[in-house]
Amino acid sequence: MSLLSALSIICGLMLHVSCSALNNRYCVPRKTVPYQNELKLFREEGISNYSTMLMRDELGVLLLGAREAIYALDINNISDRKSAVYWRVTEEKQMECTYKGKHAEVECRNYIRTLHRVNDTAMYVCGTNAFSPTCDYMTFANGQLRLLGKQEEGKGKCPFDPFQRYSSLMVGNDLYSATSINFLGSEPVVLRSSNLALRTEFKSSWLSEPNFVYMDFVGESFDSSDGDDDKVYLFFSENAMEYDFYSKVAVSRVARVCKEDMGGQRTLQRKWTSFLKARLDCSLPEPSLPPIVQDVFLLKHEDWRKSVFYAVFTPQSSLSQVSAVCAYSMSAIRDTFNEGKFKTPVAVETSHVKWVMYTGEVPVPRPGACINNVARKMGMNRSLDLPDKTLQFIRDRPLMDEAVRPLTGGPLLVKRGALLTRIVVDHVLALDGQRYAVMFIGTENGYVQKAVNYGGEMFIIEEIQLYENPEPISILRLSSSKGQLYAGSQFGAIQMPVSNCSRYNTCVDCILARDPYCAWDFSTEQCSSVSSLPPSSNTAMQSLKEGDISQCPQPELVAAVDVTLVPENNIQLPCQLHSNLAQVLWRFSDQTLHSNHKYYIYNGGLLILSASESDAGLYTCDSVEQMNGRTYNRTMAVYRLQLYFGPAAGESTTPGNEVSNSSGSVHALNTAAPGTGPNEGNEDLLHPETQSDSGRVTRLEVAVALLSLLCLSLMGVIFWIWSRGRWECLKFAKSSGESEAKRQSGEYMHIQNRTSEIKLLGPESVRPCSANNNHSAVDFKGNGEHHFTPMANISSLDGLGYINDESEI
């Protein structure tokens, strides 16, 4: 039984290591911060879909739109609700919605999708209103939210479908929106709601089953040498018209319209005369269909030409788990529209229409251009003055020939695993006087990746788990002035500081984190926020590009932990790496160990197979991290294996790995059945002096440990009985030499036991832990007995993942 259990453990570890190796070519977060209750959360029972946000810094509130509710939350602490209004659908509207085939309790509700600032106290708000979109005005005064009851038609301003992607933007008093204007969602439109409303043509060459993602305003008229107009940029995906495939292929687009566009006089009346679109290029490392844009953020610069759009892309195929972030310069997008060639449809035999590069003469003024100095010199001061030749050209050819290339030639970041969903970017001033773009990227399992690019090197500082259970992040908002990040999901809204420098306890931790927000302050011997340091401080240090820790003081020596060695037993020595990017290095009496028939080395520790007297001695575990050609070694654990000579006269104990704590007392934990030895209950394990600050081992955990071992052994028996006729290598009738060879060729794995369910740990389960002297040793005996023995301070029994929540039993 124990042999089969060991073999299953070994196979799982090999699978885990091989899966981890596959991720090396992709960006890996240096640190993983598990869920913490200290993050500020807002949710209300019975309310869901917290997916619309509007920050009003001047009012000190974050407006949060959800299903049938709008909240005014304290922008410094969103757990503090200042006011709320509820906008529910009438029974009549709900009945009409259900008659049209929609679900009464899901789709036939009022989902708040639009929140925009109108003036100092007023906001414009729209909801789906049971597939009958409606808008209203709302005020926040004297600490109270109030709907004014001035309801108006929301068609074209807000989607019918609560789960359909759309985008909108308020520029002055004009609302720009990109959505569908019919119940079926089959008539997409880019609309400007104003005194002079404009929309796109209902032609597939303009919009073909689009998914709208993001919209933003760029003031290109400022300091313009050619008298250009301001513009609104729109990002979306749609079915490609330029690819001649049997099935539909989606592509990502960027489009633009001019702010002062008034439509055409005869051609394109009440339609955009400036609507142009181009494909976005963002190539993933694996061969695939074009990735689809999911979210965009405009990092604005004082010079609008230097502004940059950051976009998240995910694969079209559900089989791929690779996401990417690409960046596009404002100037590159502008050049594509202003100077690029157009595509034109031509008739061919094999298909109705094929789109190719237009090589004919382009009319003047240039189709799709805003009214500028060139047009004004020709006597055209409004789009209404444009000639029909120019308008007909753009009506039939709104697509540019060339795609917009990423700023860096390819993706800034490529990530395997949970798909990326949302992105915001902060511009952070570091100690070196430079500004760095720090990306906060939400994922479909409720994490935020914090990443920065240092001279072409993409570095993910950390990933933070925002929600206790996997929750796709549906919205991200950033307040640079407050230093806070706000995330929304189906479950609730979370507030998170952009940095938590106190998380880095030592100078080495602080510097290797390479976090632009944080610096090591030698005067206080703390990792402090750069913004909190006095101006021109010369006592603080950062090394963002190099990660150079040479100025840090030498770390304290790690105390050796004594472990008793029982001959012929398998011994596990745990070692937690200080970083997800680090590799483990084990030394025995100053000789480097390698995995072989005697030792198995993995990121969780060292397994000594069939220990003998010659294995007694000093074992050292180093965490080795490579950064910019430098190698950083950090000793994480030291063990002193001492030979076990059996119980003293008159004692009756089951031998196990015994570990001395700092006070010199010895505690042993054996896995014999309760009542079979003098250590019954293992009461000493629960004394305060043997418990770590980070976690306490309870009697419940010990009981679960025993139960898990029993289940593991039973599984081994069942598997052996089932396979004894097929797997000759597992027969216990083999000679002892063959059995020993099998045991020595084995590997070792961690088992997570959660309500009697055994799971193989995948690469996403690897989580770094802070360095400390809290260790545990596990002795897997060849005779089927398993001894778990605490180290100096017991925080966990490594080798088996114990549940800490009694409700899970």
More confident residue, 124 or 664: 124
Q: Give 351's pLDDT tier (boundaries 50, 70, 90).
A: low
**Tokens coding 575:** 């070692």
Cα gap 75→801, rounded to integer Å? 39
Question: Poorest-confidence range of 129-143, 590-604, 663-677?
Answer: 663-677
The arithmetic mean of pLDDT across residues 248-253, rounded, is 94
Q: Which CATH class is domain 165-417?
A: mainly beta
Q: Are 466 and 473 in contact (CB under 8 A)?
A: yes
Residue 10's SS3 state is: helix
Q: Give 715's pLDDT tier (boundaries 50, 70, 90).
A: low
Q: Give 752's pLDDT tier (boundaries 50, 70, 90).
A: very low
pLDDT at position 688 over 50: no
pTM, to two decimals:
0.78
| Domain ranges for the chain | 2-26+556-808, 45-163, 165-417, 501-541
Question: Poorest-confidence range of 242-246, 440-444, 740-744?
Answer: 740-744
Cα gap 121→117, rounded to integer Å? 8
Could you tell me which of 390, 371, 381 has the C-alpha nearest to residue 227?
A: 371
CA–CA distances in Å: residue 256 to residues 22, 235, 241, 389, 587: 40, 9, 18, 21, 61
Cis ω before 365 (30° cut-off from 0): yes
pLDDT at position 735 over 70: no
> Which residue in the block uniquely carries the two structure tokens 């309500």?
755
**306 DSSP assignment:** G
Q: Tell me phi and psi for residue 543, to 5 degrees.
A: -145, 75
> Which residue in the block uniquely carries the two structure tokens 């109705």?
352
Cα gap 550→645, rounded to integer Å? 46
pLDDT reported for residue 716: 53
Residue type for 3, please? Answer: L
The arithmetic mean of pLDDT across residues 301-330, rounded, is 94
pLDDT reported for residue 554: 87
More confident residue, 633 or 694: 633
Chosen CATH of 2-26+556-808 out of 3.10.105.10, 3.40.50.300, 3.40.50.970, 2.60.40.10: 2.60.40.10
- Sign of the Cα torsion 502, 507, 509, 515 reads positive
pLDDT at position 531 over 70: yes
Strands 167-171 and 174-180: antiparallel
Cα gap 739→730, rounded to integer Å? 9
Q: Tell me phi and psi for residue 530, to 5 degrees.
A: -60, -35
Cα gap 324→294, rounded to integer Å? 10
Question: Poorest-confidence range of 185-199, 262-276, 464-478, 710-724?
Answer: 710-724
CA–CA distances in Å: residue 99 to residues 185, 657, 714: 17, 71, 56
pLDDT reported for residue 646: 63
Residue 610's SS3 state is: coil
Could you tell me which of 350, 407, 41, 370 has the C-alpha nearest to residue 231?
A: 370
Chosen CATH of 501-541 out of 3.30.2020.30, 3.20.20.70, 3.30.1680.10, 3.40.50.920: 3.30.1680.10
Let me know if the fold of 165-417 is the same as that of 501-541.
no
> Which residue in the block uniquely carries the two structure tokens 């799709």?
368
Residue 18's SS3 state is: helix
pLDDT at position 230 over 70: yes
Q: Give 288's pLDDT tier (boundaries 50, 70, 90).
A: confident
The count of residues in the chain is 809
pLDDT reported for residue 29: 94
Strands 31-33 and 457-465: parallel
pLDDT reported for residue 474: 96
Q: Are 669 and 699 in contact (CB under 8 A)?
A: no
Report percent pLDDT > 90 for the chain: 66
